[in-house]
């Protein structure tokens, strides 16, 4: 029974190939416009996640010190307005401890990334809400789909509030946001994105017969790794070790399990956070590799999962080797790999289900 759970009952590979059938999901084949709309939303959220990564890499996230979701559409338009924004920034810990003496022109270089990040967030909110209410008014949303779309609308609103809650943590007494709030913000972004991908996949007929329980387990581990990556980013833990496969000549860094206690260190100690991120990556690589070997004859979806996993693992290794001078493009490609891998897993798990 255990083997069947881990490998999705793949012992019946030959049998599964004979029972491939099509099953219609409760809301399959809706208005094609809804499918196109949700696909556009997925693309926009993908871009939002990457832009958030760039904002983090350029340390721009704390450049805007207030949150005006309704009136904050426009950037400063005059030199006086820019000076006022800089004066607000001068009251923050980041300015006092890291960017003291910033001129207006230097301030603009970090301000624009955060501004574009927030602007895209507002645009995504409108791009979801306006078509959604229009589809509702026209009666074009299937009854089974409505609860999912309402939930997405609520999650999107919560994401905006959570983003500001995260930023506030870096405006009080330290020049960085809380790694806990950063993980919550990034985790919710990936959850919303994965939810939309799952819905799009379910808007079509689902093919049954391919072993898929292993995909569900792997998706959960990958999501855990994404949260771990947020802690790495929040603590700048990626700069601690830059050797691979050994960690400064050791398999397990000295004192990492006891000083501080391991479970506390997983969330707060730079060494332990990077170590944990690496170990979860090894689990993903091993699990995905074995799953691929077990099911490699089942079709292109299995190969897509294998390739996406391989890319992400290699991107992670290259990123470590480049430390401490990681090019921004490489870090963004690593984050994009996480999105692509999650997309592949969610799509496959939603479309392919074992009888």
CA 288 – CA 348 distance, rounded (Å): 14
pLDDT of the residue at 115: 94
212-267 pLDDT per residue, tens: 678 889 999 999 999 999 999 888 887 788 888 888 778 888 778 777 777 788 88
d(CA 185, CA 153): 16
pLDDT at 148: 94
What pLDDT is stored for residue 21 in this prediction?
Answer: 46
111-134 confidence digits (pLDDT tens): 999 999 999 999 999 999 999 999
At residue 355, the pLDDT reads 33
The CA distance from 133 to 144, in Å, is 16
Q: Are 338 and 226 in contact (CB under 8 A)?
A: yes
pLDDT at 312: 94
- What is residue 15's predicted lDDT score, i.e. its pLDDT? 41
Tell me the C-alpha distance between 165 and 163, whole Å. Answer: 5
Predicted TM-score (pTM) of this structure: 0.88
The C-alpha atoms of residue 43 and residue 300 are separated, in whole angstroms, by 23
> Could you report the per-residue pLDDT of 321-339, keeping only the tens digit for each?
876 677 778 888 999 999 9
Provide the strand spans (E) within the chain.
Answer: 21-23, 206-208, 352-353
Rounded to whole angstroms, the Cα distance separating 10 from 211 reads 6
The pLDDT, as a whole number, for residue 169 is: 92
pLDDT mean values, one per 10 residues, the chain (355 residues): 41 41 55 91 96 90 88 88 93 91 92 95 96 93 91 96 93 90 96 94 66 83 95 86 82 78 83 92 95 84 91 91 76 92 90 56
Q: Across the chain, what does the average pLDDT equal? A: 85
Query: At 65, is the secondary structure helix, strand, or coil?
Result: coil
Q: Write down the pLDDT at residue 183.
A: 95
């Amino acid at each position: 029974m255990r083997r069947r759970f881990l490998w999705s009952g793949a012992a019946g590979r030959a049998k599964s190939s004979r029972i491939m059938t099509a099953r219609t999901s409760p809301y399959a084949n809706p208005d094609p416009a809804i499918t196109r709309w949700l696909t556009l939303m997925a693309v926009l959220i993908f871009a939002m996640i990457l832009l958030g990564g760039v904002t983090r890499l350029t340390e721009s996230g704390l450049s805007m010190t207030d949150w005006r979701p309704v009136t904050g559409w426009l950037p400063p338009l005059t030199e006086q307005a820019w000076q006022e924004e800089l004066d607000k920034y001068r009251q923050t810990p980041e300015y006092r401890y890291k960017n003291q003496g910033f001129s207006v022109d230097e301030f603009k270089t970090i301000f624009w990334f955060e501004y574009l990040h927030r602007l895209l967030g507002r645009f995504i909110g409108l791009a979801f809400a306006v078509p959604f209410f229009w589809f509702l008014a026209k009666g074009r949303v299937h009854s089974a789909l409505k609860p999912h779309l309402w939930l997405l609308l609520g999650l999107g609103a919560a994401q905006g509030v959570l983003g500001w809650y995260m930023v506030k943590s870096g405006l009080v007494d330290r020049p960085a946001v809380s790694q806990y709030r950063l993980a919550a913000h990034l985790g919710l972004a990936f959850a919303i994105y994965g939810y939309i991908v799952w819905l799009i996949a379910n808007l079509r007929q689902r093919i049954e017969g391919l072993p898929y329980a292993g995909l569900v387990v792997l998706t959960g581990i990958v999501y855990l790794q994404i949260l771990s990556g947020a802690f790495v980013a929040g603590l700048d833990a990626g700069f601690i070790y830059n050797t691979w496969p050994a960690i400064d000549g050791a398999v397990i860094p000295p004192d990492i399990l006891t000083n501080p206690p391991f479970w506390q260190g997983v969330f707060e100690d730079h060494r332990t956070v990077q170590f944990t991120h690496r170990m979860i990556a090894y689990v993903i690589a091993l699990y995905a590799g074995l799953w691929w070997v077990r099911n490699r004859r089942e079709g292109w979806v299995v190969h897509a999962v294998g390739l996406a996993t391989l890319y992400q693992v290699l991107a992670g290794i290259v990123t470590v080797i480049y430390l401490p001078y990681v090019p921004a493009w490489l870090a963004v490609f690593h984050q994009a790999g996480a999105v692509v891998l999650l997309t592949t897993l969610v799509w496959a798990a939603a479309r392919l289900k074992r009888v």
